[in-house]
Amino acid sequence: MNNSVQSILKKYSARASALSLVLLPALQVFPAPPAPKPNFILILCDDLGWTSSSQVMDNLISNSKSDYYETPNIERLATKGIRFSNGYASCALCCPTRRSIQFGQTPARQGDALFKENYHPDYKKVTSIPQMLKSISPDYRAAHYGKWDLRADIFPEDIGYDESDGNTGNSNGDLGSTKETKWTDIFRNNDPKRIETITNRAVNFMSRQVKTGHPFYLQISHYATHVDFQTTEEAYQKYLQKKKGAIHNNPGFAGMLENLDGAIGTILDKMDELGISDNTYLILMTDNGGVEAFPPVKNKFDHPSTFKIPSNNYPLRGGKWTLYEGGIRVPFMVIGPGIKPGSQCDIPVTGWDILPTLADLAGNKKPLPDNLDGTSFRPLLENGNGDKFKRPEDELVFHYFGKPHSAIRAGDWKLIKFWNLKKIELYNLKDDPGELKDLAPSIPEKAKELEARLMAYLEKVHAEILYPPKNVKVKSKNKNNDD
């Protein structure tokens, strides 16, 4: 090779080396930016029974839906995600359920008489949903609109919410019916139960967070379908003219539920419009089961055979104010990324599971507080009835403070303990979801086992039923009041 050729090769080699130094940084592989945090929406309905929508709640129970009410958007939600046939409110009453959801604890652990004292904002031993999410990412924003009802002089902003309607309760959604007339009065107006106002506030919050790039937790706690009955004139006239069902037949309640269902559809539409449906989880549930009759009966704990007409929650037994299935089994659905559309899961979940589930979905890496009772049901969202979901203890424990009774569900078995009557009842919910046959007399060993497990949990959490607080007046809720 002559000298001129060697000179040319050296020149191009030098240029190539220089070019590679310039291009090398551009060719380096940088880590992908972190995935955006998911958004969460909880729509909490009030007093809506398991069978009060037009969506079948259990594919094996054909009459697990209404024979009169129409809820096309709840049906729409079910087709988009997963429906829990054994979804439970935390209690058979609104206030304890709302407390339980916020802090991921059972009402038995939280107590009632000392809740205001023990959960004061200065009390640092508990973590709320917005506090938990903001500990994962400070970018989270949180809002609560509608019925708050913790009854403890605690405002949403005290526990991490950025916006709210304040320390609201039932009266904020009522129009003034009396205790005697609230089961018969029907009010027609353009914003029944403030459904439209609450929904507009929620839609505005969603839009602002998307615009500013903030992930969010939004809780929409409707006053509907709690009495008094309020609905639009159009919806009321529709159900006046519709043939009444054998179970459901109240046109005022039907109209109010249709108005509520429309608001659920508005939220679903807004998720699509904002382009966030693929990164947003929406949970729909109820604070307790439906009222068993309009007006409620005084002997609500009696066997179903006692009554001439079936309960509003038929085929379930009982309703609000009782720990029979009609009082605590409720509509419970979730949509979101990775959830199989139109699926059903039969594994029990409940309100105090929501906080750890959201922590899991938000990518939490830190240990959660050891005083939580909930378990993340993320494996159920991803695998349905798969075997990857395990609770530390295979049990759910419920407690009602008014006419005191407690319940434990373990597998298909459920035991109810009535404290004042010194009585227990045992049911196999797989064979007898209506709780018609008490098996305690015939299977005493199973009843004894479940009662021991119930007592062990109540002892562990120092429950008020075992350790009544001294010098504290406990307000009884065992009347036919409408808490």
Say if 46 falls within a structural domain: yes
pLDDT, residue 166, reads 97
Domain that holds residue 105: 39-383
Say if 415 falls within a structural domain: no
pLDDT, residue 474, reads 56
Candidates 54, 109, 64; CA nearest to 87 is 64
pTM comes to: 0.92
The answer to whether 314 and 67 are in contact (CB under 8 A) is no
| Residue 469: how many other CB atoms lie within 10 Å | 13
Q: What is the DSSP string of 319-352?
A: -TTS-SHHHHB--EEEE-TTPPTTEEE-S-EEGG
pLDDT, residue 31, reads 67
Name the H helices within 275-393.
325-328, 354-361, 378-383
The answer to whether 427 and 417 are in contact (CB under 8 A) is no
**Mean pLDDT, each 10-residue run in order, the chain (483 residues):** 48 48 50 85 98 98 98 98 98 98 98 93 88 97 98 96 97 87 94 98 98 98 97 98 98 98 98 98 98 96 96 98 98 97 98 98 95 97 89 96 97 98 97 98 98 98 95 53 53
Say if 409 falls within a structural domain: no
Residue 169 is part of a domain; what is its CATH number? 3.40.720.10
Say if 388 falls within a structural domain: no
Number of continuous H segments (helices) and E segments (strands) in the chain: 13, 16
Instruction: Give Cβ neighbours of residue 270 (< 8 Å, ≥ 6 apart).
Output: 203, 206, 207
Q: Can you tell me whether residue 423 is helix, strand or coil?
A: strand
Say if 234 falls within a structural domain: yes
The one-letter amino acid code at 363 reads G
| Residue 211: how many other CB atoms lie within 10 Å | 9
> In 99-159, which ranges are E strands?
141-146
Say if 7 falls within a structural domain: no
Q: Classify the C-alpha dihedral 230-233-234-240 as positive or negative.
A: positive
Say if 397 falls within a structural domain: no
Say if 401 falls within a structural domain: no
Q: What is the C-alpha separation between 179 and 228, in angstroms, rounded? A: 10
Tens of pLDDT, residue by residue over 321-353, are 999 999 999 999 999 999 999 999 999 999 999
Candidates 237, 330, 232, 256; CA nearest to 288 is 330
Domain count, the chain: 1
